[in-house]
Amino acid sequence: MGDKPIWEQIGSSFVQHYYQLFDADRTQLGAIYIDASCLTWEGQQFQGKAAIVEKLTSLPFQKIQHSITAQDHQPTPDSCILSMVVGQLKSSLSWLSKECSLLALLSLELAEKHGCGLCVLRAVWQICGSPQSVIFEVINAELIVNN
């Protein structure tokens, strides 16, 4: 990891930390969002730490695991890091697996001001291959398809 530029090291560490929290206990994600943060989840917009954590903790799946396929990170002129992550979202139902992507803008400067190690300023999530008109809810190991 030492041969990589610092923004790659920070971005990779962020991805590992973010997905560990997302998969284990999404309530803990509140530590990396601030009131100025914005999240777009499948076209729905949320602003502020409380609204973002509420959305992430209200997702219909309880047990989830991410498998990261690729990640890229770039520094921005305003001392932020832009991270793009692509992977698979796997539920406890082994046959329910979807491609997903996350685009995140990370701010080290705002993290210092707010007393956290890293701050997600902007995040855009997409679950690929699922039509917008179909909502999948995983409840007690059953799949319910609502149109």
Q: Where in the sequence is the domain holding 135, given as residue range(s)?
A: 6-146
Q: Label residue 146 exposed, middle or buried (CB < 10 Å: 0-12, 13-18, 19+).
A: exposed
Q: Is 1 among the domain residues?
A: no
Q: What is the mean pLDDT of residues 131-135?
A: 35
Task: Give residue 79's pLDDT band: very low, low, confident or very high (50, 70, 90).
Answer: confident
Instruction: Please give the full DSSP string across 76-111, using - where no structure is assigned.
Output: -TTSEEEEEEEEEEEESSTT-EEEEEEEEEEEHHHH
Residue 140, both tokens: 């007690």
Per-residue pLDDT reduced to its tens digit, 11-53: 999 999 999 998 889 999 999 999 999 999 989 999 999 999 9
pLDDT for 128 equals 78
pLDDT band at 147 (very low <50, low <70, confident <90, very high): very low
- What is the pTM (predicted TM-score) of this model? 0.79
Contact 92, 138 (CB under 8 A): yes
Burial pattern 47-60, b for ≥16 Cβ within 10 A else e, equals eebebbbebbeeee
CATH of the domain at 127: 3.10.450.50
Task: Answer yes or no: is 96 within a domain.
Answer: yes
Q: How many domains does the chain have?
A: 1
Rounded Cα distance, 100 and 80, in Å: 23
Within-domain flag for 99: yes
